[in-house]
Structure 1
Amino acid sequence: MDALSPTVSLTSESPGYVAVQPVAKADRIQTIDVIRGFALLGILMMNIPYFGLSHTATPRFFTAPVDSPDFRTFLTVSVVFEGTMRALFSMLFGAGMLLFMAKKDTQTDGYGMPDYYYRRLFWLILFGMFNAFVLLWPGDILYTYGVCGLFLFPFRNMKPRTYLLIAFFCVAVLGVKGFFKAMETQENREGYLKAIQLEKQKKPLTDELKKAKEGWLAVEKNAKYDKKKEDEINKTMQGDYGTIFKSYLPLNTKFESVKFYQNFIWDAWALMFLGMALFKWGFFSNQLPTRTYVLTLLAGYGIGLSLGWFAFWDGVAWYTNPGKVLDANSFPFQAFYQIRRAASALGHASLLLLIYRSGIVPWLMKALANVGQMAFTNYLMQSIICTLFFYGYGFGYFGKLSYYELYFVVAAVWLFQFIFSALWLRFFRFGPFEWLWRSLTYWKRQPMQG
């Protein structure tokens, strides 16, 4: 199993036993499918602004009138959901890797579990590159998961507490990186202020002060809305496939190389190891007492949403006047990004598990489980649908919808994926991309029915 589609399952009748082949529908851990389905649909909420709008539009969302539909939608999505869906996906990927690695190392045609494990990840990396460089989606996560998963194998037999310590270490690495970046920005601000003072006195600037001034002016430029730049990007995205490919090639290459090794790998590892710990504790398989899920819900939302609220208004202040924010030396709530997203994600998962346990809306739980069972197909389907809807070689709606209007598109895609997943699973065992992935992993055509 992984964050996209499980291939094995533990059964309550025989603890510790793991099936060698892909599991039957009846043996799946349905709560994991429910959480995965929720995360899959939620990821589109976070991705849709980047499918349909230029990243240069971000400053105008933060500085929009507070009573406007755009601002209210942006506020809600940022505080409640930002980073949390990817966090859930990463946690479930870690849990899924444990399940796959728990398979008996039965040799088949000279290959054992480790061979299939690495072959599976190799194909996932290629699917990620297909998503980024063929479907032209810069926000791909499959490549990141595939590469990060390559390093999980040696950790398969560790205790949950060890996984937790590793997760904290990864967060600490990101924290140190963020601290030095913040210090660099602060130094540029101080250098800029000194440079301005010296220029008023008509005194020459040192090379160090010139560099600091340039650095700070770049920060201010990035925080300021640039309509001309947004219009240029919109025009490019209204072009044909070749034009968009050429535009995104350097960005996608940077995301899957420099950016990946600088930040994405630590981000993914932190949540994967946390997910591995939670899975071994029985969190995702709904094995803990109701009281534990209630407390996790309250603590997760209490911490995550509170930090998210303050971080959002920090963002408003930053995009309004970044110099004023630094000069005020206010508390840096953005520094707690990893903590707040993990806390809110655990709140989301706990709420889902409590609803599932209560049996209040079984139809919704079943619908989410269907989407989750076909998460790999549905994830790539979102890229296909949205690029065709927004990009110039499709319907060309890029840059034509306001922020809040994008979520009508989200609702339409959700409805389609609910219906498609339910209908497909009535006749087939796997989603089409799940079937392809398994067939490539085992280098053998997998049965679609049964």
Structure 2
Amino acid sequence: MAKSVAAPTAKRLESLDFIRGCALFGILIMNIVGMGLGPAYDNPTIMGGDKGIDLWTWFVVNVTFEGTQRGLFSILFGAGIILFTSRPDSTDAYFRRNLWLIAFGLFNAWILLWAGDILYYYGLTALFLFAFRNLSGKRLLALGVASFVLGAAWSGLDTSNLLGAHEKAVAAEKVPVAKRTDDQKKAIEDWKEKSKTGPTPAEIEKTKKQIQGNYAGALMARGPHIAEGESWGAYRYFFDVFGMMMIGMGLFRLGIVTLEAKTRTYVAMMVGGYAIGIPLNLYEANWIMSHGFSALAYNQAGITYDAARLAQTTGHLGLLCLFLRSGAFTWLRQSMAAVGRMALTNYLTHSVVALIIFVFLGYWGELQRHQLYYIVFSVWAVQIVISPIWLRHFHFGPVEWLWRYLTYGKAPPFRRETSSGQPELVPAE
């Protein structure tokens, strides 16, 4: 039997909003590389620097954040599903809400030109999760982990096929050229194609000319990637997103993300998650670096990727919950919660900033990897200051207000009558 969901309290909302805000900032750590350096997201040898501080930047970010921030964001989205559907007569609103989220995702991808948009995936996946909303926390958690494992198995199959292609190519290359069969020649050519780790310098220069200072050119350059991501990508990563969201639904039912669990639960999450995730991530990053960022090295390291990501996401979540339970740094907690309450506005703002800097101002492909984080820290500083100030005067962020208006078909109150800044007891949109 499903655990009942009590009316939300300010404390419970702060926990969800705070973790969401942290995940939002973490997502920008990862996204900024794709926004500013495109194909160098994984491979610093392509552009952006692969020595000194740039290499260390790649290493630290990959060991500590890779894959975990979208994991946290997905978990919080799943928790929000339970909170939203606990309202009476929420069915129609739920589907309208997520159909409009799909539309926001399309806008983010095709108008703001962010090929790594997640809103489209979230809105689409949430349509399927509605049917599971009344399950118990343990069942939701079990099904979520099972779905995640299924997605990891798909990745494992892809990795196995690529490693198999390498083995065939190695065996074929041992045969004298004159004696190679057509199948052996094909195996060698097939691996050459699959072993490419990114575009050539000439292709990068062509892309720069398309993107820098040219909105139409940037759309042409990114269009194929956006189209692939919102078609094949939606199938390919469905079980990953679905699983993480369902885990979030289960963690909400079990009272974990709402700070109702015992302290030892969060300690176990943090210690256990980091004990597994950090060593695996260190192994993967060192393996890739020591093997020259080759396609083979990436595929070999990818064998443990999903296990490391799930474990480290669990560790991050435990740490954030322990921080909240401590009651320390009140200003920081409340400010980050405000960032999380305005997550949709702040997330889309990241795309706007990237569009201005990398397309309109022409900085795409021009900054070193570590320099991208000057932009990240600047955006963080602005949003952590502006978000709580905004919410002292308005009930919602501007895009959250629009989303709620579109969901319910009527305009909710926007400006506060007072500037107390007390949190409104409704689920953050």
The verdict on a shared fold, with TM-score over 0.5 as the criterion, is yes
Does 2:134 correspond to 1:166? no
Q: Is the 8 A contact 1:220 1:322 kept in 2?
A: yes
Does 2:266 correspond to 1:297? no
Aligned to 1:86: 70
Change (3 A) 1:354 1:258: same
CA distance in 2, matches of 1:254, 1:64: 25
Does 2:122 correspond to 1:145? yes
Does 2:109 correspond to 1:132? yes
Deviation for aligned residue 1:356: 2.0
Q: Is the 8 A contact 2:147 2:242 kept in 1?
A: yes
Deviation for aligned residue 1:26: 4.5
The one-letter code sitting in structure 2 at the alignment partner of 1:36 is R
Aligned to 2:29: 45
Deviation for aligned residue 1:372: 0.6
CA distance in 1, matches of 2:414, 2:255: 30
Tell me the TM-score normalized by structure 1.
0.86
Change (3 A) 1:63 1:244: closer
Deviation for aligned residue 1:422: 1.8
Q: Write the mapping of 1:25-44 to structure 2, written as runs, cut at 5 A.
A: 26=10, 29-44=13-28
Q: Is the 8 A contact 1:427 1:449 kept in 2?
A: yes
Aligned to 2:194: 219
* Alignment partner of 2:204 out of 230, 247, 269: 230
CA distance in 1, matches of 2:63, 2:197: 22
Change (3 A) 1:233 1:199: farther
Q: Is the 8 A contact 1:301 1:344 kept in 2?
A: yes
Does 2:253 correspond to 1:276? no
The one-letter code sitting in structure 2 at the alignment partner of 1:147 is L
CA distance in 1, matches of 2:247, 2:228: 27
Does 2:215 correspond to 1:247? no
Does 2:203 correspond to 1:203? no
Deviation for aligned residue 1:187: 2.6
Deviation for aligned residue 1:314: 2.5
Change (3 A) 1:54 1:62: closer
Question: How many residues were matched structurally?
Answer: 413
* Alignment partner of 2:363 out of 397, 409, 419: 397
Change (3 A) 1:276 1:318: farther
Deviation for aligned residue 1:305: 1.3
Does 2:341 correspond to 1:368? no
Q: Is the 8 A contact 1:63 1:320 kept in 2?
A: no
The secondary structure found in structure 2 opposite 1:53 is: helix
Does 2:240 correspond to 1:267? yes
Deviation for aligned residue 1:428: 0.3
Change (3 A) 1:230 1:54: farther
Deviation for aligned residue 1:360: 2.2
Change (3 A) 1:211 1:232: same
CA distance in 1, matches of 2:14, 2:43: 41
The secondary structure found in structure 2 opposite 1:158 is: coil
Tell me the TM-score normalized by structure 2.
0.90
Change (3 A) 1:181 1:430: same
The secondary structure found in structure 1 opposite 2:115 is: coil
The secondary structure found in structure 2 opposite 1:308 is: helix
* Alignment partner of 1:60 out of 44, 52, 72: 44
The one-letter code sitting in structure 2 at the alignment partner of 1:39 is A
Q: Is the 8 A contact 2:5 2:253 kept in 1?
A: no
The worse-fitting range, judged by mean Cα deviation, of 349-358 and 139-148 is 349-358
Superposition CA RMSD, Å: 2.3
Change (3 A) 1:422 1:175: closer
Aligned to 1:380: 348
* Alignment partner of 1:346 out of 303, 314, 325: 314
CA distance in 2, matches of 1:18, 1:335: 43
Tell me the alpha carbon deviations over residues 53-103 of structure 1, each in whole angstroms, 9 at most, x when there is no partner: 131474334999986000111111100011111001100111111111121
The worse-fitting range, judged by mean Cα deviation, of 132-141 and 340-349 is 340-349
The worse-fitting range, judged by mean Cα deviation, of 338-347 and 152-161 is 338-347
Q: Is the 8 A contact 2:23 2:72 kept in 1?
A: yes
Q: Is the 8 A contact 1:390 1:398 kept in 2?
A: yes
Deviation for aligned residue 1:151: 0.3
Q: Is the 8 A contact 2:69 2:313 kept in 1?
A: yes
Q: Is the 8 A contact 1:138 1:255 kept in 2?
A: yes
The worse-fitting range, judged by mean Cα deviation, of 152-161 and 66-75 is 66-75
CA distance in 1, matches of 2:293, 2:316: 31
CA distance in 1, matches of 2:111, 2:348: 11
Deviation for aligned residue 1:320: 4.2
Q: Is the 8 A contact 2:213 2:361 kept in 1?
A: no
